[in-house]
Structures are given as structure tokens and as C-alpha cells.
Amino acid sequence: MSAAIDVDIGGTFTDCYVTYGGRHVWCKTRTTAYDLSVGMNEAIEEAARRLDLGLDKLLEETEIVRYSTTLAMNRLIERRGPKLGLLLTDGFTDTTIIGKGTSWADGIPVKYQRNLARISRPEPIVPKELIVGVKERIDSSGEIVRPLDERHLLTQIQYLVDKGVRGFVVALLWSFLNPVHERRIKEIIEEEYHAAYLGAMPVFLSSEVAPRIYEYPRTMMAVLNAYLHQSMYEELSGISDELRERRYRRPMMMIHNTGGMASVLRTSAVNTYNGGPVAGIMGSAEIGRLYGYGHVVTTDMGGTSFDIGMVAEGSPRFYQFMPVIDRFLVDATIIDTHSIGAGGGSIARVNELIANRVEVGPESAGSMPGPACYNQGGLEPTVTDVDVVLGYLNPDYFHGGAMKLDKERAERAVYERVAKPLGTTLEEAALIVKKIVDGNMGQAIWRETVLKGFDPRDFILFAFGGAGPAHCCGYARAAEMERVVIFPFAPVFCAFGSSSMDVVHLYERSRHLHLLDPVEHGYLSDYGAFNETVEVLRAEALRDFEGEGYSEDQLEFTLELDMKFGGQLNVKRATSPVLRVRSEADVVAIREAFEREYAGAYSPMGLTPEAGIEIYNFVLWARLPSAKPELPRFALEGTDPGAARGGSRRAYWQDLGWVDTPVFRLDLLRPGNELHGPAIVEAEDTTLVVEPEWHFRIGEYFDGILELQNTDLPTPRAAADHEAPSRDPEETRDGS
């Protein structure tokens, strides 16, 4: 039998989802930040045990290993990359130092943007003393205005080497139109520091990393790729070597933030950034098709962050153009996800300077020391501590019992840092924190859907991540959404999501063409310029896929175009109905596709074809379709969940107070079983909290479906409404 292994390495846990024959198993292990391969191997070994297989046997029969990681994000945060030298066109060496007008705010939460006295531009990845000018110039039509001065170039290279650089980034003006000077610079560097020498250093060209218009984001894309390259290479090569020692003989595939994947050898480091959340969106799109859900909001609540994505009309079609990575604007196409600092490890505190306002996140306790209840030295109260205080989490069954939680430490942290400053009871303080974090997540969902032109009430919500099922009732209600779906593999959903992804390569190139002329109002007549650009991208795709062992007849191509109306700022990407233009009818079809997309995003009132239509970028998707995971389907049984009842536990609920709440085992529930909140459903790696007024049932795919029964409930009270007398945690531990 053949197997497929999908691994998602997060900041706290490493998730693993394995398909072996018709069987599916999943597990979580602690992430080992010092060496990610250790936690990954532990996860695969645990999956092999659950399949009653040896690790070598599983890897020997594995057809594909897919891998996503936060390594790129961590390296940027820690600033642990190599010293780089940056070569720019002479006279423009301050490009990355000046940045864009929004650089001071890019990547900073709104609450910190308001603090103008302390906000500042990001510290440059390449400092000014390691940036040099190159005497050359290419104009906006791709013509050479000033030939490359190679003698001067050699002195600049030697200067950077003497400064101790360990790699070069070359980003010249208009190089995406004519890369001849960038390529010559690379040749000279490689001649001077040949690969046979110990001093050989990698060279990264902006015309290869991001061949698109806009100087600053193109340059930063190349800089970040170079900065992350070496550490990712070392980490991934180590993982690949260990897999091969265990009899795995095929390429390891990396998840890309474009929505596809490719082998490690065909992956740019910057393309792996945010790969895990993107895998979750792609998996949601696939399951949405299975269920017949066209509109889905995906939510992943983990230990540190809360990630939101959208699937509309069955497609994860929302992209970030000019996204911010860390604090730098880059030129990349990334599936649009939005993150806020809301997770199990998010720290709660009382801001005594602002009317005793309770704030939750974005700071996180991380995996070390973690929440106070982890008993690893953490003193700050977190969302996980609050869930323990309220009785939602079982301290003896966290992570399947592999990790015991200290309830007394959780109570002490919440009381000392929240309840006591507010002058309220322990349980009320915990409930305030829960409502605030749920409200923050619900507000983020509402904002993301509305800003994309949709009503969240028209969507179904998928809740995953380790903490998602515990809080989904709260944040769904805050977003005015009434139906939530939770899958049995929800804690490792992003790892599952990668199992549904195709091998996809993305190729982009900027070229300015008038699809509709603003003066003559005639359609594009130079078909050669359009088709030539497509053919260049297609040749690159065939080269890469053939290098991975695939033939042209296995591939599917899709062309997308970045277009805008003349005189307008908003650029909209639209899928072209044709790959090549052969007639005016093809041009008209492209115009109509663009106007449909534009009207859907900005309303039909924004259509101004009389000003002309301009093409700015060509985007070619080359896709190798892969087999999609098949979820087992079960016959519905009775509605009575009694066989899964595991006793009861006192839990604290809004408007009800302390209640003896029934507790159920998820693995003992059967398709068709139903129950009403308040209730708690425990699984090995997550806990589902069914709040009052919610109805829960197990579907035919062993999925959990939550539906709000009463949509006219009063709005939850704000934190300021709670003014109960203070109580010591010793008095509240037994619920009295």
C-alpha cells in the first residue's frame, strides 16, 4: 500500500496527517525549535505506531511527503540570517532605506501605530554600509542607456567582501524588462568567487526572484529571499537526509503561500512564508466542494495566533498583492490570510491607565514558558488559563493526558492579574477575558468578509486548530454566524489541507499593454507582445516541471492578468478565458472577464471603460493535478449520545453561572448523535465547548456541526458591566 505524509510545523506544536491505504491517522507533538527535524520525526513515528507500522516501513511505502513550516517567519523575527551585500543602480542606493510612505506602520498592529512617539521604520535587513551603487542604467523600455562599468563593479564587490558579506543581492532599475546587467553581475561574481573556492557566495537577482514592476517591493522580495535562503536550506537538507536514511526515496514537497507546492529544489525561501495557514484554506476549499459549501470562512486558533481565510464561490481566490512580510512590503502573490494575536497563549492583562480596560494579546506566552497552567515558569494569565478556570478544559486530559495542567496556578494567575485589579470574582474575570478574545476574533472575521464585499452571515464557518473548537461558538456568534463545522482532524487541519493540494508553480512577469486604448477606443492589436510574454512564462514552467520528472501533457495552465481602468489606482486580477490571443473576440472575452471581477469587488459603478483598460502583469499558473483525499462516509445512527457520556464537570457559563455540565468523548460519539449546550466534548488534541443555545450533531463524515438555535439573544455584556465583589481563588476553586 502507498502512503502520504503531511506535516505542518507551528510555533508550539508539530502536526502530522498520514494517509495509508484507506486509513487516516493524525497526531501532534511539541515543536523542537532548536532542531525542527526532531519534532517532525517524533510526529511521523507516532503516526507509524498508530498504524501499527515501523517508521522505516511507513517511509519506504510513502509516495509523497508534504511539509509546511514557520521557519521563515521565525528567522525573520529573530534576525538570524547572514550578512548580505546589496547592489543597486548608482544614484538609487537609498531605495530600501527610504522605503515607502507607509513603512513606519507596515506590519505593526493598529494599537501600536497610534503611539506615534515610539513608532519607527523597521531596521533594514541590509544596513546602509553594505549597500553599493553600480554604474549602469536601463530605461523604462528595456533599452541600455549606460553600459555596465565592470571595472567599477569589481571594486564594489571587493569592498563588500572586505566587509564580511556572505551573499549578494542584485536589484537594478527596470531589470525585469531587461536583466542583461543583473545576469552579467552574477557571472562576474561567480568568476571571482568560483564554486570550487571556500569563499563562494550565492547571488540572488531580483529579475529572477520577482520579475515585476515597482522597485522597492521587488528589491525587498530579493533581499528577504536571500536572507532566509541559507537557514532554510540547512534545515530542509537535514530533514531530507534523515528521511532518506529511513528509506524515503522521493522528493520532499514544500507548501507555498501561492496555494500550491513544489519540490524543495524548486522552492524559493520566501515562498514558504505563511504556508501552514494557506494549506488550511486550500483544504477548506476542497472540503467545501465535498459538502457543497461555496462560501466558507476558515478560522485557525492555535497557541499564538488566530488565522482567517475565505473561500468564495468554491474558490480561494483572494490574494494579497504587495503583502507585508514581517515589516517589509514585497512583490509577491500570496493567498490572502489575516492573523491577529489571539490564541491559547495570548496574555490577558488589565490596562489601569485606560479605565481598567482588559486587553488580550497580541503578546503570547509561546511554548516556553507557556501559560501559567503549563507549570513551566509562566506567571501571566492566558486564554488557556481562563479555559481551565471556567472548567472547559480537563487538566488531566490535556493533549490526551500527555500533558497535565496545573489548575491552581491558572486560578492564581487570573485572580492576581485580572480579577483583583478589576475588583471582581475569579470566574467573572475569566469570563470577561473569554468574551474579549472571542469578540476580537469575531470582529476580525466580520471585517475581513465585509472588506471583500461579502456578508459573513452568508458563509459557513470552519473551526480548526487546537483552540478553535473551544472558542468557535463565541467568535462565530460575535461575527453573527450561525453554523460552524468542526472536523475530527481539526487540531491538525492545516496538515490535512496540504494533502489536498496540487503541485503548482507560479510564474509572473510585468509587461504594460493597452487592452482597450483610451484614445482610439480600439482593442489590443499587437497579439505578438501578449503571446510572447505567455510563451516565456510557459517555457519556464516546462523547464521546472521536466526537472521534477513530469511531462508537458500532465500539466494544466491558467493565465491571470493584473489590470486596471485608466486613471484609476485599483488593480484587479482576473482569470483570462484564453491562454493566447488570436482574434479580437479573445480580447473582448478578456475585457468581459475583467469587468465581472472588477464589478464584484468595487461595484458596477466603478466600471470606466471609456478611460481604457491596461494590463500590468502576466501571471501563469502551471498545475499538476493530484489525487484528493477521500473522507470516509458513515451511515447515520440514533440521536442519543448517551454511550459517549463521560460524566460531568462544573463549568461556568454566561447568564447561568456554575452548572454541572455533561462531558462526552468525541471518539465514542456516533454519526447522527445530537446534544444541546451547555456541554463539553473532549478529544485527544482539542476540546469542543458547546455553549448554551447551541445544538451539536455528528454528521455522516464524522464531522461536528454546530447550529445556533436562538438568534435573538441579548448582546454579551462588556467588561465594564462586571462589578462583582472580589473573591480569593481559594473560595472559588470548588465552584462555591
Which band of pLDDT confidence, cut at 50, 70 and 90, is reported for residue 144? very high
Locate 382 and state its grid cell: 492566558
Q: How far apart are CA 642 and CA 673, in angstroms?
A: 9
Q: In this predicted model, which residue has the larger pLDDT, 311 or 366?
A: 311
Conformational region of residue 454, where left means phi above 0, alpha means psi within -120 to 50, and beta covers everything else: beta
Give residue 176's identity as a one-letter amino acid code: F
Q: Does the pLDDT at position 92 exceed 90? A: yes
Locate 533 and state its grid cell: 510574454
Site of grid cell 513606519: 104
pLDDT for res 388:
95
- Tell me what the pLDDT averaged over the chain comes to: 86
Locate 181 and state its grid cell: 546587467
Exposed / middle / buried, residue 188 (Cβ in 10 Å: 0-12, 13-18, 19+):
middle
Q: How far apart are CA 375 and CA 372, in angstroms?
A: 6
Residues of the chain with CATH 3.40.50: 76-232
Average pLDDT over every residue of 648-655? 94
Residues of the chain with CATH 3.30.420.40: 3-75+233-272
Conformational region of residue 172, where left means phi above 0, alpha means psi within -120 to 50, and beta covers everything else: beta
| Of 194, 148, 197, nearest in space to 170 by CA | 148
Q: Does the pLDDT at position 166 exceed 50? A: yes
pLDDT for res 501:
85
Do residues 48 and 61 touch, judged by C-beta distance below 8 A? Answer: no
Q: Does the pLDDT at position 719 exceed 50? A: no
CATH of 76-232, one of 3.60.21, 1.20.1300, 3.40.50, 3.90.25: 3.40.50
pLDDT for res 701:
87
Q: How far apart are CA 597 and CA 574, in angstroms?
A: 6
Q: How far apart are CA 381 and CA 395, in angstroms?
A: 16
Do residues 661 and 391 touch, judged by C-beta distance below 8 A? Answer: yes
Tell me what percent of the residues of the chain surpass a pLDDT of 90. Answer: 45
Cα→Cα distances 173→100, 140, 202, 451, 537, Å: 16, 8, 21, 34, 21
pLDDT for res 73:
67
Q: Does the pLDDT at position 264 exceed 90? A: no
Which band of pLDDT confidence, cut at 50, 70 and 90, is reported for residue 721? very low
Give residue 46's identity as a one-letter amino acid code: E
Domain 3-75+233-272 has CATH 3.30.420.40: yes
DSSP 209-258: H---S-HHHHHHHHHHHHHHHHHHHHHHHHHHHHHHHTT--SPEEEE-TT
Q: How far apart are CA 251 and CA 273, in angstroms?
A: 20
Residue 240 CB neighbour total at 10 angstroms: 18
Give residue 638's identity as a one-letter amino acid code: G
Do residues 613 and 570 touch, judged by C-beta distance below 8 A? Answer: no
Locate 384 and state its grid cell: 488557556
Do residues 262 and 253 touch, judged by C-beta distance below 8 A? Answer: yes
pLDDT for res 584:
94
What is the side-by-side strand order in the sheet with 657-665? 645-653, 657-665, 679-682, 687-690
Conformational region of residue 315, where left means phi above 0, alpha means psi within -120 to 50, and beta covers everything else: beta
pLDDT for res 40:
84
pLDDT for res 714:
41
Q: Does the pLDDT at position 79 exceed 70? A: yes
Average pLDDT over every residue of 658-671? 94
Cα four-point dihedral sign 380, 385, 390, 395: negative
pLDDT for res 711:
57
Cα→Cα distances 75→217, 230, 256, 304, 364, Å: 20, 11, 17, 17, 18
Do residues 595 and 606 touch, judged by C-beta distance below 8 A? Answer: no
Average pLDDT over every residue of 642-663? 93
